[in-house]
Amino acid sequence: MKSLLIMVMLTVILSACSNDGAFNIKSAENAELQRDELLTILKSEDRLSDAVGYIIDGHLVAAGKVKQFSKFNKAKIEAELQKEIEQAFPEHKVIFSTDLKIFWEIEELKESDSEKKMRKRLQEIQSLSKEET
């Protein structure tokens, strides 16, 4: 009985510790192929634990959470992914960031209903990405 209880507890603990990460990309109806391509690029980067993105009207805004042991190289990771995404989407204005504030803003942008509000929030995110703290 004790061994069964120990096995169940280990299973619960190990399953709670696993985090596959959520890679959520939202796009316009006609940009499904672009969404899938961006999702492939972000998932292939093993230093990201989570990512969000939005593709609308020639703008591509994405952000990623860097895994714990890769945080010392955040700037390098951001520059590499920015360049890779720009090469994959030359027709889009690309913004990629590893900043959590931008990550949260993009998550909020995805929940917005009005297209006018989305465009305004997109401009705010662009100005946030240019800020240096």
Q: What is the 3-state secondary structure (H, E, C) of 33-76?
A: HHHHHHHHHHHHCCCEEEEEEEEECCEEEEEEEECHHHHHHHHH
Neighbours of 71 (CB within 10 A): 12
Range with lowest mean pLDDT among 4-8, 20-24, 86-90, 128-132: 4-8
Q: Is residue 8 part of a domain?
A: no
Q: Is residue 67 part of a domain?
A: yes
Share of the chain above pLDDT 90, in %: 14
- Edge to edge, what strands does the sheet with 48-56 contain? 23-27, 48-56, 59-66, 93-97
CA–CA separation, 68 and 88 (whole Å):
27
Taking the model in full, what pTM does it have?
Answer: 0.74
Per-residue tokens: 5: 């209880």
In this structure, what CATH number is given to the domain that contains residue 95? 3.30.300
Domain hosting 121: range is 21-130
Q: What domain count does the chain have?
A: 1
Query: 33-45 pLDDT, tens per residue?
Result: 888 888 889 899 8
Residue 29 has pLDDT above 70, yes or no: no
Segment 67-76 long-range contacts (CB within 8 Å, at least 24 positions apart): 73/47, 74/98
Mean pLDDT of 109-118: 72
Q: Is residue 36 part of a domain?
A: yes
